[in-house]
Amino acid sequence: MTRDPQVLIVGGGPSGSSAAYFLAKSGIDVLILDRAHFPRDKTCSEYMSPQASRILEAMNALGAVESAGAAQLSGMRVHAPNGSTIHGEFKGTHGYHGFRDRGLAVRRTILDSILLDRAREAGARVEEGTRVTDVLKDENGRVSGVVTSNGKSGPVERKADLVIGADGLRSVVGRRLGLIRASRWPRRIALVTHYSGIDIGNFGEMHVDRGGYCGVADVGNGLFNVAVVVPVSRSAEVAVDKTDFLESWIAERPKLAEMFGGATRETPVRATGPFASSAKRAWVPGAALVGDAADFFDPFTGEGIYTALRGGELLSDFAAEALLSSNRKTEIDALKAYEKARRKEFSGKWKVEKMVGAAIAFPALINRAARVLSHRRDMADLLVGVVGDFVPAREVLRPGYLLSLMLAPTAKA
């Protein structure tokens, strides 16, 4: 019989592996459960902002990720419906310094396996091919474990002092605890695949129009991540034939059609969404949520992997404190402190995400912003620095920045 862990983590992706690594390094007995067998694919933009490198380095994973062929991205280009282009570079943001001035992009089949191995090396136990179906509660209503199934036997109860839900956008832990709420806006779905034979240099690209947007980024080893994101109202069309929908969407747009003229699709088209969900709070007694299980707005800014890594790192300190508690009040205080720290860490970015989401939804806004930012590289670099997670979000939420974005002339003085 496997011994009960102190911490049971549901999900072996970046947030689960990050939390497991830092908890195990502090001497805590951790068990990760994941329904998949690794390496496994994951529908994702596969991009990491520059600040993610700091956490990868702390997990002793950065060298392995780079050696595996991860692409290094210098910044982002956003093409607006009116033809204006926002060109922002990470190194162009003077006065702010991330761990590096490059973003990384790599297949999740590679990244997640590396991170899970680092969690193992730190002392965490891992069970693959184990699906969590429910949570357990004690007589006082406190979470005390989970119910699992491996497809070979009936339900099995697994106990733990603390359960961490790191199981993604449709978190079983979050839904069973009634913590997840879907946002009414924006409701979008994504189609994701990989192509070879695209030439965009070392920048990620976003192409926005009235029908949605398309993101393209080098993910190393000759492959490019391609994601087409459209309103959920088009789900019925997508359901008929995902591949035909994506290829037609690209072919109908001249700039994209030219870019993909000599390209070859290398992986199946996969769908995910709808997006925009959040937890009303990321904890209950005996359990906490992290990563996409706690919050996911929209894939446009593409830094969900960093949020997952940072969320796991952040949670580990408070989880350790909760485990050391001698009474329920102390445990709850530690989990409340996690919620407060999480909101302090990410609330500014959430506001920027909503600002960007509004601009995408209304062509007049994205066109206006693109006209200004195409002539104001300093402002474009600042926005990309926020997306890169090494410039504080407050820098683009200041009234002066927002007024310049809306009122500045669209040509250099």
Over residues 190-232, the pLDDT tens digits come to 999 999 999 999 999 999 998 899 999 999 999 999 999 999 9
What are the CA-CA distances from residue 227 to residues 46, 63, 176, 247, 406 (Å)?
Answer: 10, 27, 30, 11, 29
Question: Residue 390: pLDDT band by 50, 70, 90 thresholds?
Answer: confident
Kindly state the average pLDDT of the residues 398-408.
86
Q: Which two tokens stand for residue 393?
A: 């979000």
Asked, for residue 190, whether it belongs to a domain, the answer is no
User: Does 292 reside within a domain?
Assistant: yes
Q: What is the mean pLDDT of the chain?
A: 91
pLDDT at position 412 over 60: no
Return the pLDDT at 278: 80
Q: Give yes or no for residue 413 having a pLDDT over 50.
A: no
Q: What is the pLDDT of residue 408?
A: 66
Q: What is the pLDDT of residues 298-331, one digit of tens each?
A: 777 767 899 999 999 999 999 999 998 767 788 9
Report the alpha-carbon distance of residue 316 to residue 297 in Å, rounded: 23
- Does this model's pTM top 0.85? My answer is yes
Instruction: Tell me the C-alpha distance between 341 and 93, whole Å.
Output: 26
pLDDT band at 275 (very low <50, low <70, confident <90, very high): confident
Query: How far, in Å, CA of 34 to CA of 131, rounded?
Result: 6
Q: Per mean pLDDT, which range of 216-225, 270-279, 385-394 is the poorest? A: 270-279
CATH number of the domain to which 313 belongs: 3.50.50.60
Report yes or no: 8 and 164 within 8 Å, Cβ to Cβ: yes
pLDDT band for position 361 (cuts 50, 70, 90): confident
Q: Which residue has the tokens 């600002």?
A: 355
pLDDT, greater one: 349 or 119: 119
Is residue 270 situated within a structural domain? no
Query: What does the pLDDT look like over 164-183, one tens digit per residue?
Result: 999 998 899 999 999 988 77
pLDDT of residue 115: 98
Give the Cα separation of 238 and 242 in Å (integer).
Answer: 5
Query: Does residue 273 surpass a pLDDT of 50?
Result: yes
Mean pLDDT of 265-283: 89
CB neighbourhood size of 184 (10 A): 7
Q: Which domain holds residue 49?
A: 7-70+103-183+276-350
CB count, 10 Å around CB of 85? 14
> Both tokens of residue 311?
């969320």
HEC profile for the chain? Answer: CCCCCCEEEECCCHHHHHHHHHHHHCCCCEEEEECCCCCCCCCCCCEECCCHHHHHHHCCCHHHHHHCCCEEECEEEEECCCCCEEEEEHHHCCCCCCCCCCEEECCHHHHHHHHHHHHHHHCCEEEECCEEEEEEECCCCCEEEEEEECCCCCCEEEECCEEEECCCCCCHHHHHCCCEEECCCCCEEEEEEEEECCCCCCEEEEEEECCEEEEEEEEECCEEEEEEEEEHHHHHHHHHCHHHHHHHHHHCCHHHHHHCCCCEECCCCEEECCCCEEECCCEECCEEECHHHCEECCHHHCCHHHHHHHHHHHHHHHHHHHHCCCCHHHHHHHHHHHHHHHHHHHHHHHHHHHHHHHHHHCHHHHHHHHHHHCCCHHHHHHHHHHHCCCCCCHHHHCHHHHHHHHHCCCCCC
Residue 152 lies in a domain: yes
Please report the pLDDT score of residue 302 as a whole number.
Answer: 62
CB-based contacts of 233: which residues, under 8 Å, 6+ apart?
Answer: 187
In a domain, 200, yes or no: no
Specify the pLDDT at position 329: 83
- Give tens-digit pLDDT for 150-160: 777 789 999 99
In a domain, 133, yes or no: yes
Q: What is the pLDDT of residues 75-130, one digit of tens each?
A: 999 999 999 999 999 887 666 766 678 999 999 999 999 999 999 999 999 999 99
Into how many domains does the chain fold?
A: 1
Beta bridge partners of 189: 230
Domain assignment present for 312: yes
Peptide bond into 81 cis (omega under 30): no
On the question of pLDDT at 239 being above 50, the answer is yes
Summarised one tens digit per residue, pLDDT across range 52-82 is 999 999 999 999 999 999 999 999 999 999 9
Q: Is residue 157 part of a domain?
A: yes
Bigger pLDDT: 408 or 336?
Answer: 336
Q: How far apart are CA 222 and CA 254, in angstroms?
A: 24
Tokens 């891992």 belong to which residue? 126
